[in-house]
Amino acid sequence: MGADASPSQSITGHLRGALNTCRGAWSHIARLALDIALPALCVACREPVDGEGVCAKCWAKLSFIAPPFCPKLGIPLVYEPGSGMLSMEAISDPPAYARARAAVRYDDVARTLVHALKYQDRTDLAPTMGRWMARAGRELLDQADVMIPVPLHWRRGWSRRYNQSGALARSIERQSGVRVAAEVLRRVRQTQQQIGLSRSQRAANVQGAFRVATVSQSEIQGRRVVLIDDVLTSGATVDACARALLRAKAAQVDVLVFARVVDTHKAPI
Ligand SMILES: [Zn+2]
C-alpha cells in the first residue's frame, strides 16, 4: 500500500489483507466488512453490479434448469414426460441414487463460478450458488433428513484448505434448515482427477473410494440423505457415494449439484 493511498483505499487494502490471512469466522467478518466498503461486483466477470450475484449479461448466459426434466436424473427434456416416465439414460443405466437435480447447465459462466469457488478461494460465491441450488432442490430438501457434501481426500482437502461441496452445503443449510453432516462420508482412497477420463474409467476410478465411518453408521441408518457436489458429469462420483451411504442403510440418497453436464460428448470438463 503506497503512502499516497486514500483513506478508503487504505481501509480496503487492509481488509483485503485480513481476508487473505483469515479463515472461518474471521474470514466471514472480513468479507462482510469488505462488502460494505466496496460496491458489489458480478461474481462471474467482476463488473460492478446492483445488488449481489451476477450481472445481467452473465445472468443471461446462465442456463437454469427448469421442467420438463427426467424425474430421476434431472436431465432437461424437450417434452413433458408422462407420470412416472423416465429418460432413456435413466432406464438404460440406472444410478444408485434416487433423484438428481442441478441448478444450472455446466457451460461458460457456470464453469467460471465452479472454478473460482474450487481453485481461487472464492468461498464468497457459495451463498449465491447455494441459493440457486436450494431452489432447484426444494423438493429433495423438503423430504431430507441430512445433507452430506461429497468429501475430498484429506490430502487434497489439506492442500486446498476447504471443500467446495462443503461450502455449498453450508449455504444450503442456511437456506433450507436441513442439517449438514460433513464428517460422515470419507474418501478412503485418493483418486485420480476425473478430468479426461471416459465414462467407464470414471466409474472404475471412484469404485470403493468412499466409506461411511463405522461410528457414523447410526447417523445414516434409515435417513433420507441429499448428497451435495459442485458439478455432475458422468455421475460416477455421486453414484459411488450413494452406494456407500446405501450400504450404511440410508433410506434414500438424492443428489443436488450446482451444475450438470447435459451432453458429456459435447461438453467435456
Ligand atoms: Zn458479469
**What does the pLDDT average to over 196-207?**
80
- C-alpha 56 to ligand 1 mean position (Å): 7
Cα 238 to Cα 231: distance, rounded to the nearest angstrom: 10
Q: Residues 117-128: pLDDT tens digits?
A: 988 888 888 998
- C-alpha 173 to ligand 1 mean position (Å): 26
Cα 211 to Cα 218: distance, rounded to the nearest angstrom: 14
pLDDT band, residue 247 (cuts 50/70/90): very high
- C-alpha 42 to ligand 1 mean position (Å): 5
- C-alpha 50 to ligand 1 mean position (Å): 11
Enter the C-alpha cell of residue 216. Answer: 457414523
User: What was the pLDDT predicted at 9?
Assistant: 46
Q: Residues 7-56: pLDDT tens digits?
A: 444 454 455 555 555 455 555 555 555 555 556 788 788 888 876 678 88
User: What was the pLDDT predicted at 8?
Assistant: 46
- The phi and psi torsions of 31 (rounded to 5 degrees) equal -65, -40
User: What was the pLDDT predicted at 5?
Assistant: 40
Cα 36 to Cα 17: distance, rounded to the nearest angstrom: 16
- C-alpha 114 to ligand 1 mean position (Å): 14
- C-alpha 8 to ligand 1 mean position (Å): 25
Question: pTM for this one?
Answer: 0.80
pLDDT band, residue 164 (cuts 50/70/90): very high
Cα 59 to Cα 66: distance, rounded to the nearest angstrom: 15
Q: Are 185 and 210 in contact (CB under 8 A)?
A: yes
